[in-house]
Structure 1
Amino acid sequence: MSKYGSDGLITRLDFELTEWRYAFPTSLKNINLPDFNEDNGHFAPAIASVLLFYFSTLILLRQPFIRRTASRSSSTSQQICASAATRGIQALLFSFIS
């Protein structure tokens, strides 16, 4: 196990987070929550907060791997962090604009 955890553990946690994320809209649709329409980016502030926690967790999970020497793992982690930051900000902004 390395200083930041094993790649296998990180991959598993990333996979489980991704599974949760893709089940999240289905769960919300099943309870007919009116303030959620992911297709047009409409989120109630409470939902945007949950999504922001998800994106923050992805960043916290992957961020330590960016500090390693240049490698495929570092590049992938950097892309995941950048995407999570962008999508988290979009979810937050759209929750207040809509």
Structure 2
Amino acid sequence: MFDFLKKTHRITYASVSFDGTRPYNEDSLKILDTDRRKLFILADGLGGCGDGKLASQTAVDSAEDTGRESTGSGETFLKELFETAQESVTEKKENP
């Protein structure tokens, strides 16, 4: 499908997060790097909106798991990724 992805490319990356005026950071970041897929996962913790760190961590953990297990691609894969992450956060909220 994407022939240019079959070539080997080296990507250098870094992450930086700015806490703003809060004494803590609720954002979460994970990088999935497998032979099949490279995925940068970022969730905003919504700065102080009740368990934002738990929600963002739950979302990235779920997205990482989905990224490892899913055989989907393109728009279908992204939809699966977002829906699974949202379901995980909702479930965590309802059953802490």
Q: Give the TM interval when normalised to the shorter protein.
A: 0.3 to 0.5
Higher strand share: 2
Q: Which has the higher contact order (CA 8 A, sep 6+)?
A: 1
TM-score (norm 1): 0.32
Higher helix share: 1
